[in-house]
């Protein structure tokens, strides 16, 4: 009896959940519990960690999960690694729904870096208006360049004091091109730091930066072990043995 676990938390995972619910397949949607009020899903949902690889393996056995779809974000590397390990241990088929990274096109001025500390190093010494569009969890290293005027964007209002003076925009996206242009102009943003999330939910800032001719410090995705991956909900549905009605 097919029962799928969706490791979610992204716009793509929400699209998959809608398709699975429409098909009437037995599935459960999993959030990591990072935000206060995650979006509702049309499937039974669970929130919070499993307790590492062993916790996930136990969950798979206890809940009689027969398929796992990793539809987490490309930067949710620990969750993705745990899923590979737990599915190997339990012999459960695993498929990743992962959008392709953004690639620079003419007009883009990207500085590609490997991680957050390299992103800090890439910023200029001279004071600038810097938009950090990398969420809440990884901003502390920017405290080493306090000369900049920082704008941050979080899903939820900050609970703890920030590691440096900054203005916080609270918004969960997806974001629009016009909205990003307007925000960057109003704040006279001169530098942007982003992660190569891919997908459409966050690419508006990249398009706006190109329009404004602004440099983008682009943090590359973490390396992940080999795993089967697709880029579309349709391919996931086919893998689940349920081809969606074409054009539906």
**Quick one: DSSP state of residue 131?**
E
Bridge pairing between strands 45-47 and 27-31: parallel
- Residue 109, token pair as written in the block: 């001025």
Distance CA 103, CA 221 (A): 12
We find the least distance from the C-beta atom of residue 144 to ligand 3Y8, in angstroms, to be: 18
Range in contact with ligand 3Y8 (rule: CB under 6 A) among 26-34, 58-66, 84-92, 209-217: 26-34
Q: Evaluate the CA torsion angle 153, 159, 165, 167 in order and state its sign.
A: positive
Stretch of 71-79, 93-101, 158-166, 233-241 lying at the interface with ligand NAP (CB under 6 A): 71-79
* CA–CA distance, 136 with 21 (Å, rounded to integer): 32
Residues 127-146 contacting ligand 3Y8, CB under 6 A: 133-138
Count of positions on this chain that bind ligand NAP (CB under 6 A): 23
Task: Out of 4, 5, 14, 72, name the contact with ligand NAP by CB under 6 A.
Answer: 72
- Based on C-alpha coordinates, what's the Rg of the chain? 19
DSSP summary character for residue 146: T
Residue 39 lies near ligand 3Y8 (rule: CB under 6 A) = yes
d(CA 93, CA 240): 10
Region of 17-25, 35-43, 160-168, 239-247 interacting with ligand 3Y8 (CB under 6 A): 35-43
**Which one of ligand 3Y8, ligand NAP, none interacts with residue 205, CB within 5 to 8 A by kind?**
ligand 3Y8
The helix (run of H) or strand (run of E) holding residue 209 is helix 204-212
155, interface contact from ligand 3Y8, ligand NAP, none, CB < 5-8 Å by kind = ligand 3Y8
Residue 33 near ligand 3Y8 by CB under 6 A? yes
Half-sphere exposure of 62 (CA within 13 A, CB side): 7
Which residues are at the interface with ligand 3Y8 (CB under 6 A)? 9-11, 14, 31-35, 38-39, 133-138, 153-156, 172-175, 195, 197, 199, 201-202, 205
């Amino acid at each position: 009896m097919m029962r799928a676990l969706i490791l979610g938390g992204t716009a793509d995972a929400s699209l998959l959940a809608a398709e699975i619910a429409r098909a009437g397949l037995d599935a459960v949607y999993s959030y990591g519990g990072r935000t206060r009020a995650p979006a509702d899903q049309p499937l039974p949902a669970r929130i919070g960690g499993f307790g590492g690889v062993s916790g996930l393996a136990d969950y798979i056995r206890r809940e009689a999960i027969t398929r796992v779809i990793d539809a987490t974000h490309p930067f949710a590397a620990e969750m993705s690694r745990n899923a590979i390990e737990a599915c190997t241990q339990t012999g459960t088929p695993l498929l990743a729904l992962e959008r392709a990274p953004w690639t620079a096109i003419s007009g883009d001025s990207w500085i590609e870096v490997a991680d957050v500390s390299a992103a800090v190093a890439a910023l200029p010494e001279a004071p600038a208006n810097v938009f950090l569009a990398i969420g809440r969890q990884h901003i502390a290293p920017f405290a080493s360049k306090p000369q900049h005027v920082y704008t941050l964007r979080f899903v939820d209002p900050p609970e703890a004091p920030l590691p440096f003076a900054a203005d916080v925009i609270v918004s969960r996206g997806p974001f629009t091109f016009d909205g990003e242009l307007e925000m960057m102009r109003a704040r006279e943003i001169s530098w942007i730091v982003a992660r190569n999330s891919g997908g459409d939910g966050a690419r508006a800032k990249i398009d706006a930066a190109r329009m404004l001719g602004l440099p983008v410090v682009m943090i590359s995705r973490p390396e992940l072990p080999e795993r089967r991956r697709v880029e579309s909900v349709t391919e996931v549905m086919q893998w689940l043995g349920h081809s969606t009605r074409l054009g539906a």
